[in-house]
């Protein structure tokens, strides 16, 4: 699929038609987009619409959600089931697309989807692989994503599998990221710790909850890409081997190199927000865990 004006006009009109109250028009648009998604460079064409400032905002929003769903339906199964060597040549382009989306469309729903997508990649292919890939797109961009998107929005994640996935991925970042374990990054490390405690202080959802809309999609949820509303909704748990994300989290000091042991109590007592400090102590006590 080329980026010629005719193609972009066709996609733009299809996105608008998915919002139509007329079911026949909406279903035809859904079919057109579903067929187009099978053509080469579809993702690039949709990315162009999602990030071009001159494009109507309604079209840009639809294109952004559609692109994230395109990554989800086409790439999440690949990320889950393939060795990294099989997909490595494609990942730089995918992360470049994700970063471009974040720069141009910062709606809460899109940010949550990106956090979940990144968390899945991290637990399947490792912390350093994710950090290196993001930074290869743009130098030091992982720091920006972590500080501006991941940490501030972590406690907005909903759904049992999603909360579990993001809590485990964030814990792995705390324990395994050379970037965060650098003393110069202590402030960012503490903010991530604080965000994880905030997320896990909430009751883990037993059932999926419907997220509040931050954009009026009209009939959009009936489109072929509607299930982006809750990425992973009613899907298989990607971390079956971890039964309890809270226990996984509170045992994190033991997962960090011994050279860092002994610093946690002081950091927790002096840097963590008072409500989360109390919540962390309560969480540790419930599992009979002592911070070392």
Q: State residue 115's pLDDT score.
A: 92
Q: Work out the mean pLDDT of the chain and round it to a whole number.
A: 81
> Are the CB atoms for 121 and 130 separated by under 8 Å?
yes
Distance, in Å, from the CA atom of 126 to the CA atom of 129, rounded to the nearest integer, reads 5
> Are the CB atoms for 261 and 253 separated by under 8 Å?
yes
> Are the CB atoms for 80 and 116 separated by under 8 Å?
no
Give the predicted TM-score (pTM) of the model. 0.76
Q: Looking at the predicted structure, is the pLDDT value of residue 261 above 60?
A: no
Q: Looking at the predicted structure, is the pLDDT value of residue 167 above 50?
A: yes
Q: State residue 235's pLDDT score.
A: 58
Q: Give residue 205's pLDDT band: very low, low, confident or very high (50, 70, 90).
A: low
Over residues 30-57, mean pLDDT: 85
Instruction: Copy the structure tokens of residue 257.
Output: 């190199």
Residue boundaries of the structural domains of the chain: 5-286
With tokens 């697309």, the residue in question is: 97
Instruction: Copy the structure tokens of residue 90.
Output: 């494609």
Using one digit for the tens of pLDDT, what is the confidence trace for 5-41? 888 999 999 999 999 899 999 999 999 998 998 887 7
């Amino acid at each position: 699929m080329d980026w010629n004006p005719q193609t972009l006009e066709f996609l733009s009109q299809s996105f608008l038609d998915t919002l139509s109250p007329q079911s026949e028009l909406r279903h035809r648009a859904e079919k057109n987009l579903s067929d187009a998604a099978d053509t080469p460079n579809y993702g690039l064409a949709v990315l162009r619409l999602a990030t071009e400032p001159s494009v109507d905002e309604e079209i840009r929003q639809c294109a952004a959600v559609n692109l994230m769903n395109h990554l989800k339906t086409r790439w999440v199964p690949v990320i889950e089931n393939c060795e990294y060597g099989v997909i490595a040549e494609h990942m730089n382009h995918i992360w470049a697309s994700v970063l471009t989306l974040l720069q141009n469309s910062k709606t809460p729903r899109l940010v949550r989807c990106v956090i979940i997508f990144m968390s899945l990649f991290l637990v399947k292919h490792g912390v350093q692989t994710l950090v290196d890939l993001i930074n290869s797109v743009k130098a030091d961009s992982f720091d920006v994503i972590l500080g501006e998107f991941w940490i501030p929005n972590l406690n907005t994640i909903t759904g049992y599998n999603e909360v579990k996935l993001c809590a485990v991925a964030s814990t792995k970042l705390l324990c395994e990221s050379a970037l965060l374990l650098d003393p110069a990054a202590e402030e960012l490390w503490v903010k991530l710790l604080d965000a994880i405690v905030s997320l896990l202080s909430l009751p883990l959802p037993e059932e999926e909850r419907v997220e509040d809309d931050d954009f009026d999609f009209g009939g959009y949820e009936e489109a072929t890409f509607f299930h982006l509303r809750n990425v992973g909704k009613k899907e298989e748990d990607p971390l079956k081997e971890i039964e309890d994300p809270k226990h996984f989290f509170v045992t994190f000091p033991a997962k960090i190199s011994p050279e860092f042991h002994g610093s946690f109590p002081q950091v927790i007592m002096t840097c963590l927000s008072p409500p989360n400090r109390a919540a962390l102590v309560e969480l540790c006590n419930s599992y009979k865990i002592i911070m070392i």
